[in-house]
Chain A
Amino acid sequence: MRLKISHRTEYSYDAPLQYALQRLRLVPRGGKTQTVHSWSLKVEGATEEARFVDHFENDTRLVSMADDSTRISIDAWGEVETFDTAGVFGEHRGFAPLWLFEHETDLTTPGEGIRELAHSVGQGSELDRLHQLMHIIGVRVAYTIGATHAGTTAEQALTQGSGVCQDHAHVFAAAARVLGFPARYVSGYLMLNDTVDQAASHAWAEAHVPGLGWVAFDPSNGISPDERYVRMAVGRDYRDAMPVSGIRLGWAEEQLAVAITVEQ
């Protein structure tokens, strides 16, 4: 499936900023599930300082905001050909060792809730158990916008029983690790069939299954990602794969506006 994507992020401030940096993971890389035909990243109100491939092989850019600016807009757009691989991303690549994905992170530290969730998964093959886990999360954590924030942990989201895709992915990764699977967080896009405009970028999780490699699970939709999914970045949790993260000096109030379209 050939998907056209556009992703605009705009920050505006009520007072000029002395200095700010934004780290962008907004460039997709090709692989078994997708081929990137064209991609552009344009930033206004800031200057590119560095581009590199990070430790999880994400294409990463650092931009700095010029003195006294009050607005930065980041436009990413392009065309990506996607393939339905039944969620299988395949063998682990790169120098990041697989064991790194067995480790908990601040956002995915398992508490009693996550452990109990992991142990509620019944018998079966590895794939069966991961599918079970995905479905239980869908039931236990209701998709609710605004109930959580970027710093909500997996344990918190599970305890309160609500969250968004980011929380679902964290709960999945945390519980899969308790079950002994290396697991990771994936950020990207999902084409919804009935609308072009998307409320937010999407996130899901992958578990490493012997013999298959990385297999993707989307607890928010109860399926393994197919050709409607575009991968952007991966990591141990949201913080590793954040599309935009930054640091700024000054006391200005920040306003964020995001507009995303995904269409065929």
Chain B
Amino acid sequence: MRLVAFDEMQPEKSGIRHSYSAYDRWWQQQDPARLSEKMRDAERVFRKTGITFAVYGEEEAAERLIPFDIVPRILSGAEWRRLTQGIEQRVQALNAFLDDIYHRQEILRAGRIPKRLIADNDAFLPEMIGVRPPAGVYTHIIGTDIVRTGENEFFVLEDNARTPSGVSYMLENRETMMQLFPELFQKIRVRPVENYPQLLRQSLAAVRPENLRGTPTIAVLTPGSYNSAYFEHAFLADQMGVELVEGHDLRVVDGHVAMRTTEGYKQIDVLYRRVDDSFLDPLTFRPDSALGVPGIMDVYRAGNITIANAPGTGIADDKAIYSYMPDIIEFYTGRKAILQNIQTFRCSEPDTLKYVQENLKDLVVKEVHGSGGYGMLVGPTATKKERETFSKKLAANPSNYIAQPTLSLSTCPIMTEAGLSPRHVDLRPFVLVSDKIQIVPGGLTRVALKEGSLVVNSSQGGGTKDTWVLDD
């Protein structure tokens, strides 16, 4: 059986889709040699900006360039509107769920999700019990991973509700495209994404501590330059015009978290932290952490700083919780989920485990807490031996895994030596939550550069594309 993927530019046995028609007309007029040169220009731009990504498991080249493809991924205005409605609903539900989990736990009392899913979950932080952050927002910055399988078939693959990365690529990709092809942006009305840093700044300012008078001071907390996403931390701080700080720059002073400056300590009101929960406060969590700020949780509970995203939000984007998202959405919004989940098999259930083990060759199996494509098995492309080894791992710790059917992800063309050639893609739109929900029209399109590959993660040989939402 051959999976026929939906191509977003030109589906099988049909013409160019409307959203790509203007781009296609332009493409037909281009000289292939000039486009190849543009491809090399793009690489130079990225090298110059220094946008790299550390790849785990590669000893040489600790940092390397994520390949960029010059063919944009294009969504119509109507497609985008439908996606945003679904994402907004989901994000509302995620915040309502977090508020509930750290307060009355009505959803457990109602029996809509099993208690053990929360009780046995390391991402549940007791220190967050009873905390209600400004505007009731726990997860402020979200990257919802979306895959498509047909004209009207969109699915949510993951809700990245703790510290989603990749937004810097969205911005760099757009900037590069505008430099390389300014004429295209005159011909085709593409909605802007460039204002994301300003929106992020406004969004963070809007959730400042409730008792604060005046303009809040915002800072970005990074674990430091050895972190794989350091580039993004520095980039966002720079673009927002706020300080980039590390744990050792901060301490508790006069009832606030403050940063050391040449003029003494300066109070921070909103901290966009890119440090994981367990490293955030050595007085509260891991005592050996040098990346955090001792006492920040005390200042937080006293209401004198906003931490974005809030500690403990990981409980909402765990892959085992994911499988209950349709119920979670219905429970808190009273409506059916607009965007569908991918069918998910919970290996913690004995009958399901058996089914998964028997059907490994058709399934993708993931660790509940895993990310970045690590520790997963892609059944159809794995060898028999790999599947057998994985089956034993599954049996040893079933609740650590979920499985999903292999989806025939949609494709978009990329430019190759031989011209346009389809490759599988996914999409991560970036969502900002404050007193309102904003989604920048676009996002990060990740593309599996290897023909036929379904793994789009940059750590596994994926690349990126600019994502266009048409102003139509």
Q: Which residues of A contact B (CB under 8 A)?
A: 19, 21, 23, 47-55, 57, 60, 62, 64, 94-97, 99-100, 102-103, 236, 245-247
Contacts and interface: CB of A to CB of B under 8 A. Distances in A.
Contacts of A52: 298, 301-303
A245 B253 CA distance: 18
A49 B252 contact: yes
Contacts of B467: none
B330 to A, nearest CB: 23
Given A96-B129, A100-B126, A247-B282, A60 B115 contact: no
A94 B299 contact: no
Q: Identify which of B102, B252, B282 gathers the most chain A CB atoms within 10 Å of its CB.
A: B252
Interface string B107-119: 0100000010001
B283 A247 contact: yes
A247 B294 contact: yes
A55 B254 CA distance: 23
A54 B301 contact: yes
Given A49-B255, A95-B130, A247-B287, A21 B294 contact: yes
Nearest to A60: B298
Interface of B: 102-105, 108, 115, 119, 126-130, 251-255, 282-283, 287, 294-295, 298-299, 301-304
Nearest to A64: B252
A66 to B, nearest CB: 11
B49 to A, nearest CB: 38
Contacts of A62: 252, 295, 298-299, 302
Contact of B302 (A47, A51, A103): A51
B126 A55 contact: yes
Contacts of A245: 283
Shortest 7 CB-CB contacts between residues of A and residues of B? A55-B129, A50-B302, A62-B298, A52-B301, A50-B298, A52-B302, A95-B130
A51 to B, nearest CB: 6
A55 B115 CA distance: 19
Chain B, interface SS category: loop
Given A95-B129, A247-B287, A64 B301 contact: no
Contacts of A246: 283
A61 to B, nearest CB: 8
B253 A55 contact: no
A55 B119 contact: no
Contacts of B255: 48-50
Given A95-B104, A246-B283, 8 more contacts: A48-B255, A50-B301, A54-B127, A55-B130, A94-B129, A97-B105, A99-B115, A247-B287
Nearest to A246: B283
A19 B251 CA distance: 9
Contact of B299 (A50, A96, A97, A99): A50
Contacts of A53: 130, 301
B102 to A, nearest CB: 7
B295 A49 contact: yes
Contact of A23 (B283, B287, B304): B283
Which of B105, B129, B253, B254 has the largest count of A CB atoms less than 10 A from its CB? B129
A52 B102 CA distance: 16
B297 to A, nearest CB: 9
Contacts of B298: 23, 49-50, 52, 60, 62
Contacts of B108: 97
A23 B297 CA distance: 11
Contacts of A49: 252-255, 295, 298-299
Contact of B119 (A57, A64, A95, A103): A103
Contacts of A55: 126-130
Contacts of A47: 254
A64 B253 contact: yes
